[in-house]
Structure 1
Amino acid sequence: MLTVGEEDRYPPTKYKRNINKKTNQSKLKICTYNVKSLVSFEKYIELTNALKNINFDIIGLSEVRRVGCSIEEYQDYILCYTGQTKGLYGVGFLVKKELKNNITKFTGISERVALLQLEFRNFPISLIQAYAPTEKANEDEIQKFYEDLNQAHSLIDGRVLVTGDFNAKIGQQQKTDNNQIIGRFGFGKRNERGERLIEYATEHKLAVMNTFFKKKNHRKWTWISPDRKTVNEIDFILSNSPKTVTNVEVISNVKFFSDHRLVRATITVKPPKKV
């Protein structure tokens, strides 16, 4: 029996067949999406039906709300998830089936942080999926969340993308910002949780990639309030290799019951050329 957060989650042997026969893709579509709930198989089917016309390879999932730590193989996808509290929290990944031999390890750090490690042409890529506490959470919860993120970083080497619902507003670039961390195309106004996210990004030399691509305002926000009057950008994709990220965009046509929109990054698989 697996205990969440205490040991690595390795894919079963069947995921390691032909491990050297890597995909020939030169680019990957990596996404993040707060699904609000995948607690039942019916919700999983609803989600996959909603994604039929969406171009993606891997989606980091927030609010999966499933208990346990598992890798499940379905007809078209592999679902990895970890969670502890019934009906709350939980994170994971939905991976296209053709990439199953690229998966090298899945680790459930906590019910808010999960790590998926893959390899392409002997080049490793790590994905960290996060679901941060809301604004109502106390400082201890926030501190624990960032400790979990730091633990995930301690397990990786090389290129990493950190994706998820951070419940934080980065806002527009400020004069004091490091322009290698925050770009010129933020959205809205920064809040205290946004400052904390920037501190984390700076510590790990991560660029907040949403802020580096110019989009119209209606293509920037990722969350809408229940009364449909307030929108914010709180779902982000961060990278320690920004030159390999060629686009970040918000996808608005996923017909699934969520108050969030899917965020998609296009990344190049090949390692950047040495200067």
Structure 2
Amino acid sequence: MKEFEKKGRRTQGPHGDPSTREKTSQSQTLEARPQYEAPQPKPQRGSCAADVGKGEAKQLSICTYNTRSLSHEDDLERLQEQLINFKWDIVGLGETKRKGEGLLELRNGRLIYEAGKKEDAPNAKGLALLINNNMKNFVEGFQRHSERIISCQIKLKGESLKVIQVYAPTSDYEDTEIEASYEDLVKAMEMKGRENIIIMGDFNAKTGTKKKEEDLEWIGCHGIRERNERGQKLLDFAAENKLYITNTFYQKPKSRYWTWESPGQQYRNQIDFILSTDKSLFKNTEVIASIDVGSDHRMVRGKIMLNKTLMRLKRLSKKKGSKIEIKHLEAVKETFQITLANRFNALKEEPPSIEKN
């Protein structure tokens, strides 16, 4: 397998050398399919759904990684080799620079849905979703929403999960391009019923460190550097759509926050994120340094816990009625205790009456 070298941008924002490893094997070009409906065979023992019993929790590992290029087949093979001893269920890939669109089953049985570059879309960089063997029977479908947004629908024991992979415009693009990208993302979030939504990818935005005076629910206290204009835009989008930026809620060593570095390691910033409509699903979100295909980005992995029973109880606890009932019970308890104390004190003060024969 040939050697590889880092594929980096000159600074945060520019695309770097557009000629870097753009060539794609034509034999691997996929037939264009705007959406694929995955079959639903009965899950075998050992798969995700089969392992989830009544009231039992299931942990999923969902990752996002801007590869900067997977245009050569040996690049994709190298990535898969690195994932062999690594815990993952779904990996969203950005800037793959591959061509074609469709679903492909790889030699090891994994699925990859690719939404590659198109000749009539010069701004497209290519996206993909890699599905591990234990998950592929529970993917209900894939969809390409735009040149920068793709998604897949997961169903596990009645719980639905929509995973959206994005690649946001860099600082080279006008604000109108940014606005259009967020509008497409809002449309991609539209779902039926009570599904959980996870949005992940390279947002090309720095949310920075949360300030002490900021009373913000959607961002945690753990980040690096200063927030830029695009970072504020991402934070506003998260607040408007009730999305938690999960990277920022887990304390790590400073070296484990950054997700992108400039050539020469002069600058390091946190611009790759995992967002979720339900923060309580997540046990952890972390930067992974062990996966490296020569990109200037680092992988981000989120570990989530799906538990049907606990999630149902959590939804019930959020209802206003249950809170009112609890307050009412506390009031009744307090009144009863006061009444009982008053009666006891009255018996102590009054001597018992004696009947005369």
> Would you say same fold, with TM above 0.5?
yes
CA apart distance, 1:39: 2.2
CA apart distance, 1:23: 4.0
State the AA in 2 paired with 1:265. Answer: G
Q: What is the aligned partner in structure 1 of residue 141 from structure 2?
A: 105
Which runs of 5 or more structure 2 residues have no equivalent in the other structure?
1-30, 53-57, 318-357
Residue range with higher mean Cα deviation, 197-206 or 156-165? 156-165
Equivalent of 1:132, from 165, 168, 183?
A: 168
The answer (yes or no) to whether the contact 1:83–1:110 under 8 Å persists in 2 is no
SS at the partner of 1:210? helix
CA apart distance, 1:19: 6.3
CA apart distance, 1:176: 5.8
SS at the partner of 1:98? coil
Across the aligned residues of Structure 1 and Structure 2, the Cα RMSD in angstroms comes to 2.0
Q: Write the distance in 2 (CA, Å) between the matches of 1:40 and 1:205.
A: 39
Q: Write the distance in 2 (CA, Å) between the matches of 1:44 and 1:248.
A: 24
Q: Does 1:198 align with 2:235?
A: yes
Q: What is the aligned partner in structure 2 of residue 24 from structure 1?
A: 51
Q: Does 1:264 align with 2:301?
A: yes
Equivalent of 1:77, from 110, 113, 125?
A: 110
Higher share in helix: 2
SS at the partner of 1:249? strand
Residue range with higher mean Cα deviation, 18-27 or 232-241? 18-27
Q: Write the distance in 1 (CA, Å) between the matches of 2:131 and 2:183.
A: 26
CA apart distance, 1:202: 0.9
The answer (yes or no) to whether the contact 2:259–2:270 under 8 Å persists in 1 is yes
Q: What is the aligned partner in structure 1 of residue 200 from structure 2?
A: 163
Structure 1 length-normalised TM: 0.91
Q: What is the aligned partner in structure 2 of residue 48 from structure 1?
A: 80
Larger radius of gyration: 2
State the AA in 2 paired with 1:95. Answer: I
Cα 1:17/1:217, change in 2 over 3 Å:
same
Q: What is the aligned partner in structure 1 of residue 322 from structure 2?
A: none
The answer (yes or no) to whether the contact 2:100–2:118 under 8 Å persists in 1 is no
Cα 1:201/1:23, change in 2 over 3 Å:
farther
Indicate the percent of aligned positions where both proteins have the same amino acid: 35
The answer (yes or no) to whether the contact 1:127–1:160 under 8 Å persists in 2 is yes
Cα 1:43/1:267, change in 2 over 3 Å:
same
The answer (yes or no) to whether the contact 1:65–1:85 under 8 Å persists in 2 is no
Q: Write the distance in 1 (CA, Å) between the matches of 2:215 and 2:32.
A: 41
Equivalent of 1:35, from 67, 70, 83?
A: 67
Residue range with higher mean Cα deviation, 38-47 or 209-218? 38-47
Residue range with higher mean Cα deviation, 109-118 or 149-158? 149-158
1:170-249 → structure 2 map (5 Å cutoff): 170-175=207-212, 177-249=214-286
SS at the partner of 1:109? strand
1:84-122 deviation line (CA, Å, top 9, x unaligned)? 435851222111012111100101011210111100001
CA apart distance, 1:175: 4.6
Q: Write the distance in 2 (CA, Å) between the matches of 1:43 and 1:102.
A: 27
Q: What is the aligned partner in structure 1 of residue 186 from structure 2?
A: 150
Q: Does 1:58 align with 2:90?
A: yes
Structure 2 length-normalised TM: 0.71
1:144-195 deviation line (CA, Å, top 9, x unaligned)? 2111101101245420111000000000113564432011112211000001
Q: Write the distance in 1 (CA, Å) between the matches of 2:262 and 2:249.
A: 25
SS at the partner of 2:300? strand
Higher share in strand: 1
Count of matched residue positions in the alignment of Structure 1 and Structure 2: 269
CA apart distance, 1:139: 1.4
CA apart distance, 1:50: 2.2
State the AA in 2 paired with 1:16. Answer: Q
